[in-house]
Structures are given as C-alpha cells and as structure tokens.
Structure 1
Amino acid sequence: MNLFDRFILTLYSLALVVISLFVMAAGLNLISSDYITDTINEIYSSSEVGLAYFAAAAIFLLISLKFLFTSVRGEGRARTPASVHNPTEYGDVQITLDTIESIAMNAARHIRGIRDLKAHVRAEENRTSIHVKVAVDGETPIPGLVEQVQQTIKERVETIAGLGISKVTVLVSEVAQPGSGARVRRVE
C-alpha cells in the first residue's frame, strides 16, 4: 500500500468513525429524532444539499470498492525480491540483490582493518553497483584499505555471481574505538 492509499484510508477511517458515533448516538436517543428528520427533509427539499450528500456517498462508494478490490485481488501477488538477471546459454539466472549484498559483505569481512560494514546493491539496466559503508580500525591507512575493499568485493562478486560490477563505492563512516567488541558485526 503506497503513501497515497494510506492517506485515503486514514481519511476514510476517520469519516467512518464520525458516522459510527453519530449512528450510535442516534441509537441511544442522544440525538433527537427531530434533528434526524429535519436533516432528511433538507436532503429531499434542497437540490444543493441532496447533491452534496450524493457526491459524498459516491466518493465513499468508490473508495470502498477500491479497497475491496485491492484486498480481494492482493497487491500484485507476492512480490518477488529485486534481482539481477544474468542470461546464459541454458536460460536466465536471477540473483537477488540480498544475495549480492551477502557476497560483498563476506568478501569485505575478511579484510584486516574493517571493523563494521554494511552493503547496498543498486541494479540498473546494464549496471550493477555496490555501495559499502564501513567502520575502520584506525590503524590501517584508509586509502589503501578502501582500495582493497573495492577490489576484493568487485572480484569476489564477479567470480561467485558471474555478474559485471560497474563500481564499488566505499563510505568510511567512523573509526572504531580500540578494544571495541567483535572484529566484524553484521549491520541490517
């Protein structure tokens, strides 16, 4: 459900709350029958008021039908995870972006000087790029470390997944404090 649908559903729900409270109050005789009768008579006697009620009811009907069909039909079935297609002579191979991220993280995990990392893969038409965010130990020179991370990830993903990687971008986010915990932890 996208943001617009959520906004419409919120307005729809609030309107139903107001209508429900009104009907409950009428059922408990908290609203006089004269008020209800006058409102109904006004709908029938004034074409502007009748048209406004008709428009509101039509909007409610359309929104109800939209949500009904969406719930019955589902939102495009179960979504398949984003993947990269790699055609071979025997058929098409699909590798999920999560798989490529795991390969990249496993490759960088073994590099001395990396303390923490996470990877994000972006697949476009003919290019696959990997963005890696790392925390370093502060003892290994960063330029050499970053180059090693880029080279290792690119080679490992291309070897294991058989995909061409257009670029590996590395963001050094912090220097880990001495004596901080485990060598590498996986950040989700």
Structure 2
Amino acid sequence: MIRMLDRLLLFLYSIAIGAASVIAIAAACGAFQTSFLKNAVSDFTGESRSIQGTVIGVGIVLFLVSLRFFIVSVRRTGASAPTINQRTEHGDIRISVETVENLALKAASRTKGVKDLRARVRIAESGLEITIRAFIEGEGSIPAMSEDMQRTVSQQIEEATGIPVAEVSVFIANVTQSPTTFKSRVE
C-alpha cells in the first residue's frame, strides 16, 4: 500500500515539477510580458490573501513530498535480495529467491532435449510458483518433456529447500534443430 502511495506521489510530483519547469523556461525566454510577470508576482505577495495562501499551501505540499522522497531514497532496506524465510525448532532459515531459481534451472536441465532455460520464482501463500522458460531440441513430445520437467523441478525444490511448490509452469519458447553433421566426401 505504501509503495502504491509513493508511486502516486512521485507521479503527481513529477507533473508539478515538470509544469513549473516549463513555466520557468518560458518566462526566462521571454514568452510572458513583463507587466504580466509583475502582476503575477504582486498577486502572490500582495493584497490577494487567497492566492497567497494557495501558493504557500502548494509550496508546503511540494516540500513535504520532496522530503518524503529524500527519506525513501536514503533509507536502507533490511535485505538486499528477496528471501524466503522459514522458522525451525533450531532457528530461522533464509533462502534467497535467486537460490531457488538456480535450483529450478539445475533440475530442469536434467530433462533430455531442453536448453536455454530461464526460471522465475514467485512466493505465494500456497507455496512457490515457479515458471520455467525453455527452448527444446528435436522432435520429442512437448507434453511429455514438460511434465517430466515439472515433476523434476517440483521434487528437487521441495527436497532441497523444504518449501512446498504450489505450481510449476513450463513455457516452451521455441523448438530448435540440433546441428546435423554432414560427412564430406573426398574423391
């Protein structure tokens, strides 16, 4: 929720700063008449209290948003990489998502005819959701290869980490032909 609010604030802030920048550039290039600029400045500082109050209010809001973004940019987060946390009777175990992705790639590579693998792991309440993207060689059965890969990845991840795997999705990106070797004939 906080991240969504920060994104909304960043969007509104960038629009406001962008508009102010365009106005400042236009004023510096002489796009406005001098009398118009003098009247605008006197409205901000002079007799019209409603305009003056609005300008002060907008200025305070922009300052507070700037302060929020400064704090967010300087604040350090606890973990640099996303992790999966488990509690055992002996203490806590933290496994990085990258480790689980590498385990999934290792398990998927055991499937015959599979190459150029990529893995993505998402953490869900029901367990890990793993997506494998692969290129396959030759003319093997895609459903059989995919099921074998799903079974191997699921078993390997659950055995290695102790974390239940909710789903293993396999995306076959393309079929490649294995390079054929031609025998040259010398006469």
Tell me if both proteins adopt one fold, taking TM over 0.5 as the criterion: yes
Counterparts of 1:78-117 in structure 2, within 5 Å, are 79-117=79-117
Does residue 147 (structure 1) correspond to residue 147 (structure 2)? The answer is yes
**Matched residue, 1:173:** 173
Per-residue deviation, 1:105 = 0.3
Residue of structure 2 aligned with 1:59, choices 53, 58, 61: 61
SS of 2:177's partner is coil
Partners of 1:25 and 1:31 within 8 A in 2: no
Per-residue deviation, 1:22 = 7.0
Tell me, which stretches of 5 or more residues in structure 1 are unaligned?
A: 181-188
Residues 38 and 150 (structure 1), Cα distance of their counterparts in 2 relative to 1, 3 Å cut? closer
Distance 1:174 1:68 in 2: 46
**Matched residue, 2:14:** 10
**Matched residue, 2:136:** 136
34-43 vs 78-87, greater mean Cα deviation: 34-43
Per-residue deviation, 1:97 = 1.4
Residues 108 and 41 (structure 1), Cα distance of their counterparts in 2 relative to 1, 3 Å cut? closer
Aligned-residue identity in percent: 24
SS of 2:111's partner is coil
Partners of 2:129 and 2:165 within 8 A in 1: yes
Per-residue deviation, 1:112 = 1.1
Distance 2:72 2:167 in 1: 40
SS of 2:165's partner is coil
Per-residue deviation, 1:118 = 1.3
Partners of 1:81 and 1:96 within 8 A in 2: yes
Partners of 2:127 and 2:163 within 8 A in 1: no
Counterparts of 1:8-87 in structure 2, within 5 Å, are 8-18=12-22, 20-21=24-25, 32=34, 35-43=36-44, 44-72=46-74, 74=75, 77=77, 79-87=79-87
Task: Give the AA of the match of 2:21.
Answer: V
Aligned CA RMSD, in angstroms, stands at 3.0
**Matched residue, 1:184:** none
Deviations 1:49-95 (A, max 9, x none): 333323332332332332333344x2x52544222223322111111
Per-residue deviation, 1:6 = 3.4
Partners of 2:119 and 2:132 within 8 A in 1: yes
Relative contact order (alpha carbons < 8 A, sep ≥ 6): 1 or 2 greater? 1
Tell me, which stretches of 5 or more residues in structure 2 are unaligned?
A: 181-187
Distance 2:15 2:140 in 1: 56
Deviations 1:132-185 (A, max 9, x none): 1222113221222112111211222222223222332222222123429xxxxx
Residues 171 and 41 (structure 1), Cα distance of their counterparts in 2 relative to 1, 3 Å cut? closer
Deviations 1:95-114 (A, max 9, x none): 11111110010111132111
SS of 2:159's partner is helix
